[in-house]
Amino acid sequence: MAKIKDALEYHSMGRKGKIEVISTKPCQTAADLSLAYSPGVAEPCLAIEKNPDDAYKYTAKGNLVAVVSNGTAVLGLGNLGALAGKPVMEGKGVLFKRFADIDVFDIELDTENPDEIIKACQLLEPTFGGINLEDIKAPECFYIEEELKKTMKIPVFHDDQHGTAIISSAALINALELVGKKIEDIRIVVNGAGASANSCAKLAIALGVKPNNMIMCDTKGVIYKGRTIGMNPYKELFAADTSFRTLEEAAKGADVLFGLSAKGAFTADMVRSMAPNPIIFAMANPDPEITPDEARAARGDVIIATGRSDYPNQVNNVLGFPFIFRGALDVRASCINEDMKLAAVKALASLAREEVPDSVSKAYGNVKFSFGREYIIPKPFDPRVLLHVAPAIAQAAMDSGVARQPIEDMEKYIEHLESTQGKSKEIMRYIINKAKTDPKRVAFPEGDNEKMLRAAQILVDEGIAKPILIGNSIKIRDKIDELGLNLDDVQIVDTENSKYTEPYAQELYRLRQRKGITESEARRIMRRKSRNHFGAMMVRMGDADAMLSGIDAHYPETIRPALEVVGKQPNLTSVHGMYMMVFKKGVYFMADTTVEIDPTAEELAETAILAAQNVKVFDIDPRVAMLSFSNFGSVRHPLSDKVRRAVQIVKEREPDLIIDGEMQADTAVVQELLDHFSFSKLQQTANVLIFPDLNSGNIAYKLLARLGGAEAIGPILMGMQKPVHVLQRGDDVSDIVNMAAIAVVDAQGRHNS
């Protein structure tokens, strides 16, 4: 009852339904209106009349898909009609947008006449870049799709057929690999003869299943040659020359059982009768033909997948249609052909064999996933699916000759796709590419930490950095073996017996002998007590180019050794911390957010200058606002006066830097408010925000990260004599990779200067 109430409340709360139309262009002034509509809109109309392809340039057609349904086969609920199916079609639109940034209009057609549906879709071709047919019952759906593919020049895809087939086929490839069977040798039974079953069978044959090794069943039993009851031309394609007449008979000795039928259709006895290491895809929705618990109770060697998210190996169509359309739209494919479907299958199968990032584990309650019997298909919330499937579709479209706008640089296309997942992806891709041009040695004092090791593998594989793992060498190598990593060529430094230990101890003693450290204490620190001291000393002595630490430590525990060993730049009064805050529509850099508690005007000026220098590393021109509760002298107080003095110091030292203040936070980031101060050197909103103290800076960045939807990248430590950077406790592998890339670029800049 609670779930019913939750579902109804979800759809009815606030703005009704799940979708809205948002303008992509400004429409705030009379001038905007004249461009958006009359008279300005006439210009693109005339351009399109002369060259129809300009519709992709001047309208949303190239990123717009119609989700078309008549509601005759809504989920597992049957013929609910066009209107009752609308929530599903809206939901489909949400998934298109969420996973592939594709816009959707849902179109519910109140007819069961397939020719009327065909005609409606044909008439809509000028509006859309593609058509996704949804929840239309068989066999009419086959006829509708066939006719539309013959007559239309945009991609038409019936997801109920092909989506399930693509996802399950990818899972089948991986399941067969795990059990050591070849696809051409297996015997497969398909229970169900509707849209998805038909497509699953066809795609399995395209992948290598021999037609005479496939049996299809419907509610009347096996579909065999000569059967006349309940037959149609689409079932006739799969009529087998067999003596089997029931599902039970067909399942005996079968290697694979595909269920696209109804709850309870598979029994424990059927499972027990199958061949060794049976593979079962129980995909009835919402309740499978047999549950994984029931199947495993029947026999322990079974691999089973369902359509349910609460069981492993979910065959979820969202792994297919958004990314298939993304690739097809991006090359303006005239259709979605068999080559493109097979490309999607192979891309998904390949992705499931790769290491799963922490972000995916977090999305599923911190469950760890690795290729095996309970993970044969990627998870729907894996952001890598877009980057694997869409390019595979685009490439297959080009290779098969249906792409009307081929992609010239596939690597840049993948980077573009990554940028659509968030501005941080775009910025970090720039930093990572920069790091790859000259990878530097990065010391990892927490060298035995699982996340650090997994990050090290990525850094090596991608050529971003040269990790140095610090710690007990036996523990590190055992952990590498346990995780199945390939880090044979990575340097491991054991502080107990390293050639560096004694020289480092002597250098630490020299540095700190008048600050309470004895020679024996320095030796103990280097050998056993503090790997952060050891890592910092590697950087100081030139045996590493940068250090990255803090995944298992509090912030001060990492900074203190770095300050004692590496130290701040001699011309500075302090070190400073900065975060990159990434929002959907922009990026802001905030400092000092982690180090200086109550900075002086001099220290604030340093923070601003260092922040501006570091922002340029990201290929961004800094525009700096010095924040306060006062706007350019509106409130006179020692705190605002301090900020004003800091601004003057910066202007004297860096006269070309775009900076101003003191100013309130909203003035700094809202153009309309900033425009009131025409005298300000800051004529555009700021992208670098300098806070007057650690209280305000730390509070602001954490609130924006938690409540404002911003992604926080950092902390970026500024002002150290050599590159030392700090992680946050709980950072995941991707965070470590990002910060390592930042550390490498930092080291590159110092080396080049």
Of 16, 50, 86, 92, which one is the catalytic site residue?
A: 92
Q: Which segments are annotated as binding site for a divalent metal cation?
A: 134-135, 160, 285
| Mean pLDDT, the chain, whole residue set | 90
Task: Look at residue 418 in the predicted model and tell me its pLDDT.
Answer: 81
Does position 1 have pLDDT exceeding 50, yes or no? no
Helical pair 321-330 and 159-179, crossing angle rounded to 10 deg: 110
Task: Look at residue 158 in the predicted model and tell me its pLDDT.
Answer: 93
- Express as a percent the part of the chain with pLDDT over 90: 62
In this predicted model, what pLDDT tens digit does every residue of 378-404 receive, in sequence order? 998 788 999 999 999 999 999 999 999
In this predicted model, what pLDDT tens digit does every residue of 45-55 receive, in sequence order? 999 999 999 99
**201: closest CA among 159, 258, 241?**
258
Domains plus CATH for the chain? 46-154 (3.40.50.10380), 162-313 (3.40.50.720), 319-418 (no CATH), 431-566 (3.40.50.10950), 576-719 (3.40.50.10750)
Q: Which residues contact 353 (CB under 8 A, 6 or more apart)?
A: 174, 371
Does position 537 have pLDDT exceeding 90, yes or no? yes
Tell me if 315 sits within 8 A of 93, measured CB to CB. Answer: no
Question: Within 566-670, where are the H helices?
Answer: 601-617, 638-653, 665-669
Indicate the range of 59-63, 76-80, 453-457 predicted with least confidence. 76-80
Residue 371, amino acid: F
In this predicted model, what pLDDT tens digit does every residue of 652-696 receive, in sequence order? 999 999 999 899 999 999 988 999 998 988 988 999 999 999 999
- Express as a percent the part of the chain with pLDDT over 70: 98
Any idea which residue has 């069981």 for tokens? 311
**Cα gap 641→648, rounded to integer Å:** 11
Range with top average pLDDT, 51-60, 507-516, 587-596: 51-60
DSSP bridge partners of 132 = 67, 157
* pTM beyond 0.85, yes or no: no
Tell me if 571 sits within 8 A of 653, measured CB to CB. Answer: no
Q: Which residues contact 580 (CB under 8 A, 6 or more apart)?
A: 424, 427, 587, 588, 589, 618, 712, 713, 714, 716
**Cα gap 31→39, rounded to integer Å:** 10
**Cα gap 360→382, rounded to integer Å:** 6
Query: Region 225-229: what's the mean pLDDT?
Result: 92
Annotate 160-182 with b (16+ C-beta within 10 A) or e (fewer): bbbbbbbbbbbbbbbbbeebebe
Query: Region 273-289: what's the mean pLDDT?
Result: 92
**Cα gap 673→108, rounded to integer Å:** 45
Query: Region 115-132: what's the mean pLDDT?
Result: 97
In this predicted model, what pLDDT tens digit does every residue of 256-276 receive, in sequence order? 999 999 899 999 999 999 999
Task: Look at residue 749 in the predicted model and tell me its pLDDT.
Answer: 80
Does position 332 have pLDDT exceeding 90, yes or no? yes
DSSP bridge partners of 282 = 259, 306
Q: Which segments are annotated as binding site for NADP(+)?
A: 74-81
Q: Which segments are annotated as binding site?
A: 74-81, 134-135, 160, 285
Task: Look at residue 515 in the predicted model and tell me its pLDDT.
Answer: 84
pLDDT band at 416 (very low <50, low <70, confident <90, very high): confident
Greatest alpha-carbon span in the chain? 99
Tell me if 161 sits within 8 A of 198, measured CB to CB. Answer: yes
In this predicted model, what pLDDT tens digit does every residue of 570-614 receive, in sequence order? 888 888 999 988 887 778 999 988 888 899 999 999 999 999 998
Radius of gyration of the chain (CA): 31
Does position 422 have pLDDT exceeding 60, yes or no? yes
In this predicted model, what pLDDT tens digit does every residue of 307-324 receive, in sequence order? 888 889 999 888 999 999
Query: Region 523-541: what's the mean pLDDT?
Result: 90
In this predicted model, what pLDDT tens digit does every residue of 288-308 receive, in sequence order? 999 999 999 999 999 999 988
Does position 2 have pLDDT exceeding 60, yes or no? no
Task: Look at residue 652 in the predicted model and tell me its pLDDT.
Answer: 94
Task: Look at residue 3 in the predicted model and tell me its pLDDT.
Answer: 57
**Cα gap 71→84, rounded to integer Å:** 7
Chain center to CA of 559? 31
Known catalytic residue at 92: yes
* Distances from the Cα of 252 to the Cα of 186, 242, 255, angstroms: 13, 13, 9
Tokens of 594: 């982690």
Task: Look at residue 75 in the predicted model and tell me its pLDDT.
Answer: 78
